[in-house]
Amino acid sequence: MSSQRYRREILSGMAAGSTAAVVSGVATASHGQGNARGNGKQKHGSKRQAEALDRGLVAVPSGDGVLVRWRLLGTEPRDLGFHVYRDGERLNNKPITESTNYFDPDGTTDSTYAVRAVGNGRASGRKDGDRKPGMSESVEVWDEQYKEIPLNKPDPVEGEDGETVTYHANDASVADLTGDGTLDIVQKWTPSNQKDPSQSGHTSDVLFDAYTIEGEHLWRINLGQNVRAGAHYTQFLVYDFDGDGKSEFVVRTADGTEDGVGNVIGDPDADWTNDDGYVLEGPEYLTVFDGETGEELATEEFQPARGDPCQWGDCYGNRVDRFLAGTAYLDGERPSIVFTRGYYEKTMLAAWDFRQGDLELRWLFDSEDGNEDYEGKGAHSLATADVDGDGKDEIVFGGAVIDHDGTGLHTTTMANPDAQHCGDFLPDREGLEILVPAEYPPEGEPSLSMRDAETGEYIWAVRNGEDVGRALVADIDPRYSGAEAWGGEPLSSDGVGTYSARGEQISETPINSINSAIWWTGDLHRELLDHDFLGWDEGYGVGWIKKWNPETEELDLLKSFEGTRSNNSSKGNPCLSGDILGDWREEVIWRAEDSSHLRLYATPHETDTRLYTLLHDPQYRTGIARQNVGYNQPPWPSFFLGHGMDDPPKPNIMTSFEPAGHDRLAEISASETDATPCDQIEFEAVDLTGNGNKVRSLTWEFGDDTTATGWSVSHTYDELGTYPVKLTVTAKNGETTTDFETITITEAEPLARAVPSATRVDVGESIDFEAEDVSGDEESIDTLTWEFGDGTTATGWSATHSYDGPGEYTVTLNATAESGCTTSYSETITVDLTEGTYRLTSQLNSDDIVMSADGELADGANVYNDTVGEASGQTWRVIELEDGIYRIAAADNEDLVLEAADGGTDTGTNLELGQWEGADYQKFAAVPESGTGYTLEPTHANLAADVWERDPDPGADIRHWNVTGAENQLFAFIDPDGD
């Protein structure tokens, strides 16, 4: 269809400059490459706990329309179909199964949108009562391509020396704090007197706020006077650590920390800061806070403990207070808390579990306890990933990796990198890779290296002795397979160059952006996310997104975030970037210039790539959680995401879990987890006690407000959607445990298929329809109903129908089985435009406003819309020249025909009358779009007749514009006699 062609043009325009000559000796991209499993070694099938998310529907203005995007959840079929609704009306004829976005050329900022999951077949779109099954909540269109989220900015305070201290919105994280399926925001407020651990001086209190995405302020936590302010002191985690469906907030605390409801941890009057502003004495704690209320839930003495500060490499307080944090699935199923201390010399990592309200130490790693080779290998950030394929996460710690059980997995010579990246960067190689630079590498050791994430073996390394502080890796260039990598210094062209994923040098200089990356346009290449730094005195910049142009070998600006500020000095960080809303593409959150609000930016670009939401890839999700830590790094999924990628595996996750801590009395066994409304699902409670007599009762909750009891039950779902099934088991001694399973209900396969005698006919030509039984032996069909798409219906195994007007009609056959299950099957019938005399009216207008000639019928007369009877030339003789190509002449003077003025090919060219010369600009393709609507497209240009500026009133010009298939371009051919 022409609307599809229009969208293809948008996509091809985005990809401009994406081809270039192949460089000799370098591997080039090819389709279908890659290791679909990412790490390539996973042998264990434990499902990981994940958030139960909603659709994340977002609608933003884009060009002359609205781009609508939504999530495909990791628990759903890859080809799940969707319908899109604007203001309650469905926009697409067939379910969308190839993407999770939709460009609506007729959408405005006054529109509202919803999407409905309808399975992977054809759906009728019939209502069930007042709503449709599987329908999302509706959303309004953003006024801009960003959403403003108001903040409760702290007032200035007085510093230790009497100076005025102000606050700005610094790092942020997102998680579902309230259990409603939407992501909320935890925002750190950093005082203007923050310090690096190498700098002496007093700092003011660090504050944390929580907000819903609509800007509701949930709570504020004040870390107090005994937690120093700075990028290395206040690492924080926001994640659902106990599996109750709501995320917790975890951070290092001390005497004087005040929670979100006013409770104070420890001694509120204690002040452990020394004269130089350091805190080298006094208790330290690790605290878990309720994500919804900010109330303290559990507090334990912090590990790794401070001990003697001199053990860490200096005695004045620098290296002892270098902290990192992360979230890791150390048991392969549930997330654990990881906090670390030190990385220049002595190094310690501690893993914690928060289960059933208790915070317990899982293990402690100490470089002085038989792990001397791991001393001094840490980076200014960390990552967590299953690098050895055992189903459990390891901690990627710069030049070392710590195994899931707290033992060392491997160590290298890479030391003190400012950046590190762990992901699948070489798609034709099994396993994950780690890219790190090295500051002041030992003689003969790498300045930049790509290594095997499991073994530590170097895949390639650059050994030239250069000090390389930072590095970045991203698939930016289609000429090379995998992700390109480069290392150097920010704000400088100095560095070790740019390399292919296999280590072949592409350029002697690094790409001129080294801070972060973002998937924005949807062409599978990753764009670069950085800023224009305004100087060391200001300490911030203005962010931007740029795209590598392989033809010019330069960065092209895509978006500049004017009115915002970056964080963390030269690092140019936003508050957060990642897959926050919509499809798999990434959003970015920047603080406003005055920190009065946040701006959440979403992409305006359409994509034809469908992926599961990246939030349901556990490695990516934990990457979001640790992004605020140390020197912020972008998140990476567990699979290769780039040009030529294979389909990634379906996430092995569960979105409902038993709150961790109990041994279950029984677990759920379901006959199927992917089903349809026609399926009866059998549920069985499997006894885990070894003695079923210990169990007093079993209660089932099916997620659709229905319940049952007993060891074995059956259930059928009426509506499409994803349902958490909960089994509550109570023992005779009163102990209660629960288990969960996720059931996904999608559109049923049709019971009967419509078989028309023809799918393309003329007006008045009869079509014979037969219903073919495709139900097999499982269902017996009771009734069959036909909907012909023109308001008429019929019943039975066969029917005959003809159409009174040209157009494209959807015929739906609804088959109902004796069980009551109803399925639908649709076919499209095209009724050709036949020669004759017609009035032409667009779908934008009422039937009494028609295409007219202005004034006398003459060469050059303008064509516009007017009310029937108010203008001279309002009937048109349609003459077919060849299949689908027509001459449209004034009925009262067939020598005068519709034409593009002066044969113009530009948008905005008038439609007028001209003497018939057989020119291409006088011939029109009548392309059926939907119902009785046709686009009129001149054969000399990719344009369509268009009611100018979508003006529905008489007097609007008819001009040419790019083909959109919008209602102001869809014309019906109406019999002027009303027959």
For residues 618 and 649, the answer to whether their CB atoms sit within 8 Å is no
Q: What is residue 1's predicted lDDT score, i.e. its pLDDT? A: 35
Are 60 and 100 part of one and the same domain? yes
**Which residue, 871, 914, 800, 687, is CA-closest to 924?**
914
Are 844 and 964 part of one and the same domain? yes
pLDDT in tens, 54-76: 999 999 999 989 999 999 999 99
The residue whose two tokens read 């992977």 is 120
**Which residue, 474, 604, 599, is CA-closest to 528?**
474
The CATH number of the domain holding residue 861 is 2.80.10.50
Is 296 domain-assigned? no
Look up the pTM and report it: 0.77
Are 868 and 966 part of one and the same domain? yes
Is 537 domain-assigned? no
As a whole number of angstroms, the distance between CA 791 and CA 211 comes to 48
Contacts of 407 (CB under 8 A, 6+ apart): 365
Task: Kindly list the distances between the CA atom of residue 480 and the CA atoms of 137, 205, 498, 529, 753, in Å, as whole numbers in the listed order.
Answer: 42, 48, 12, 21, 47
What φ, ψ does residue 482 adopt, rounded to 5°?
A: 80, -160
Q: Does the N-terminal peptide bond of residue 976 adopt cis geometry, omega within 30 degrees of 0?
A: no
User: Which residues on neighbouring strands pair with residue 223, listed in sequence order?
Assistant: none
**Which residue, 568, 567, 572, 571, is CA-closest to 592?**
567
Establish how many alpha carbons lie within 13 A of residue 18's alpha carbon, considering only the half-sphere containing its beta carbon. Answer: 18
For residues 892 and 900, the answer to whether their CB atoms sit within 8 Å is no
For residues 856 and 711, the answer to whether their CB atoms sit within 8 Å is no
As a whole number of angstroms, the distance between CA 525 and CA 511 comes to 15
For residues 510 and 557, the answer to whether their CB atoms sit within 8 Å is no
The CATH number of the domain holding residue 108 is 2.60.40.10
Are 828 and 852 part of one and the same domain? no
Q: In what order do the strands lie in the sheet with 760-762?
A: 760-762, 822-832, 807-817, 781-787, 793-795
Are 774 and 673 part of one and the same domain? no
Are 859 and 961 part of one and the same domain? yes
pLDDT in tens, 482-520: 999 999 987 677 889 999 999 999 999 999 999 999 999
Task: Kindly list the distances between the CA atom of residue 617 and the CA atoms of 49, 61, 360, 579, 863, in Å, as whole numbers in the listed order.
Answer: 11, 29, 26, 11, 56
Range of the domain at 74: 48-144
Last residue of a domain, one of 99, 127, 144: 144
Is 620 domain-assigned? no
Look up residue 242 and give its DSSP letter: S
Task: Kindly list the distances between the CA atom of residue 308 and the CA atoms of 198, 212, 280, 314, 531, in Å, as whole numbers in the listed order.
Answer: 17, 42, 9, 10, 40
Are 770 and 897 part of one and the same domain? no
Establish how many alpha carbons lie within 13 A of residue 292's alpha carbon, considering only the half-sphere containing its beta carbon. Answer: 9
Torsion sign, CA atoms 589, 593, 597, 601:
negative
**Burial of residue 27, with CB atoms counted within 10 A of its CB: 0-12 exposed, 13-18 middle, 19 or more buried:** middle
As a whole number of angstroms, the distance between CA 642 and CA 456 comes to 24
Is 766 domain-assigned? yes
Indicate the residue type of 70.
Answer: W
Segments of the chain scoring below 70 in pLDDT: 1-45, 119-133, 491, 656-662, 692, 777-779, 930-931, 978-979
Are 772 and 689 part of one and the same domain? no
For residues 570 and 469, the answer to whether their CB atoms sit within 8 Å is no
Is 959 domain-assigned? yes
Are 841 and 927 part of one and the same domain? yes
Are 807 and 850 part of one and the same domain? no
Is 586 domain-assigned? no
Q: Does the N-terminal peptide bond of residue 928 adopt cis geometry, omega within 30 degrees of 0?
A: no
Last residue of a domain, one of 691, 724, 743: 743
**Burial of residue 925, with CB atoms counted within 10 A of its CB: 0-12 exposed, 13-18 middle, 19 or more buried:** middle
Structurally, how many domains does the chain consist of? 4
Is 956 domain-assigned? yes
Q: What is residue 777's predicted lDDT score, i.e. its pLDDT? A: 63
Are 853 and 969 part of one and the same domain? yes
Indicate the residue type of 73.
Answer: L
As a whole number of angstroms, the distance between CA 117 and CA 171 comes to 35
Q: What distance lies between CA 707 and its chain's CA centroid?
A: 34
Are 687 and 758 part of one and the same domain? no
Is 528 domain-assigned? no
**Token representation of residue 955:** 């007097």
User: Which residues on neighbouring strands pair with residue 962, listed in sequence order?
Assistant: 943
**Token representation of residue 400:** 């070392």
Last residue of a domain, one of 704, 723, 743: 743
Indicate the residue type of 80.
Answer: L
